[in-house]
Amino acid sequence: MRSYISINVIIIIFIHVNILITPFLTYHVQGFDSIIRLPYSGSTRTRPKTKQVLSITDFGAKGDGFHNDTQAFLEAWKVACSFSGFTKVIFPYGKTFLVHPIDIAGPCRSKVTLRISGTIVAPRDPEVWHDLNKRKWLYFHGVNHLSVDGGGKIDGMGQDWWSRSCKHNYTNPCKPAPTAVTFHRCKNLKVRNLMLINSQKMHMAFTSCRRVVASHLRVLAPASSPNTDGIHISATTGVVISRSVIRTGDDCISIVRNSSRIWIRNISCGPGHGISIGSLGKSNAWEKIHNVKVDGAYLYNTDNGVRIKTWQGGSGFASNITFKNILMENVSNPIIIDQYYCDSRDPCKNQTLAVQVGNISFINIEGTSATEETIKFACSDTSPCEGLYLENIFLPSYFGGDTRSYCWQAHGSAKGYVYPPACFSNSSDFIRQNVLLESNPAINSV
Ligand SMILES: *[C@@H]1O[C@H](CO)[C@@H](O)[C@H](O)[C@H]1NC(C)=O
Ligand SMILES: *[C@@H]1O[C@H](CO)[C@@H](O)[C@H](O)[C@H]1NC(C)=O
Ligand SMILES: *[C@@H]1O[C@H](CO)[C@@H](O)[C@H](O)[C@H]1NC(C)=O
Ligand SMILES: *[C@@H]1O[C@H](CO)[C@@H](O)[C@H](O)[C@H]1NC(C)=O
Ligand SMILES: *[C@@H]1O[C@H](CO)[C@@H](O)[C@H](O)[C@H]1NC(C)=O
Ligand SMILES: *[C@@H]1O[C@H](CO)[C@@H](O)[C@H](O)[C@H]1NC(C)=O
Ligand SMILES: *[C@@H]1O[C@H](CO)[C@@H](O)[C@H](O)[C@H]1NC(C)=O
Ligand SMILES: *[C@@H]1O[C@H](CO)[C@@H](O)[C@H](O)[C@H]1NC(C)=O
Ligand SMILES: *[C@@H]1O[C@H](CO)[C@@H](O)[C@H](O)[C@H]1NC(C)=O
Instruction: Please state, rounded to an integer, the average pLDDT across all residues of the chain.
Output: 87
Write out the DSSP string of 111-134: EEEEEE-SEEE--S-GGGGTTS-T
Q: pLDDT category, 321, cuts 50, 70, 90?
A: very high
- The reported pLDDT for the residue numbered 442 is 45
CA distance 191 to 132: 26
Whether 12 has a pLDDT exceeding 50, the answer reads no
Asked if domains 51-250 and 263-446 share a fold, the reply is yes
**CB under 6 Å to ligand 7: residues?**
347, 349-350
- Is CATH 3.30.930.10 the right assignment for the domain spanning 263-446? no
Q: How far is the CA of 428 from the centre of ligand 9 (A)?
A: 8
For residue 311, the CA-to-ligand 7 centroid distance in Å is 14
- Please give the distance, rounded to the nearest whole angstrom, from the Cα atom of residue 405 to the centre of ligand 9: 19
Higher pLDDT, 443 or 411: 411
pLDDT tier at 95 (50, 70, 90 boundaries)?
A: very high
Ligand 8, residues 290, 292, 317, 359: which to mutate, most atoms within 8 A of Cβ? 359
Mean per-residue pLDDT for 274-286? Answer: 95
Give the pLDDT confidence score for residue 425 in this predicted structure. 80
Task: Of 16-30, 307-321, 336-350, give the range with the top mean pLDDT.
Answer: 307-321
Ligand 3 in reach of 169 Cβ (< 6 A): yes
Supply the pLDDT for residue 394: 97
Atom 10, ligand 7: which residue's CA is nearest? 350
Q: pLDDT digits over 179-190, tens only? A: 999 999 999 999
Ligand 4 contacts CB of residue 145 (under 6 A)? no
Question: What does the pLDDT read at residue 445?
Answer: 40
Q: What residues contact 190, with CB distance under 8 A and at least 6 apart?
A: 146, 147, 148, 149, 212, 213, 214
Which residue CA neighbors atom 10 of ligand 1 most closely? 266
Q: How confident is the model at residue 170 (pLDDT cuts 50, 70, 90)?
A: confident
The structural domains of the chain, with segments of one domain joined by +, span 51-250, 263-446
Residue 51 confidence class, pLDDT cut points 50, 70, 90:
confident
Q: Nearest to residue 252, comparing CAs of 358, 164, 328?
A: 328
Average pLDDT value for residue range 247-275 = 97
State the fold for domain 51-250: Pectate Lyase C-like (2.160.20)
Whether the CB-CB separation of 241 and 253 falls below 8 Å is answered with yes
Strands (E), 37-101: 51-55, 64-68, 85-91, 96-98
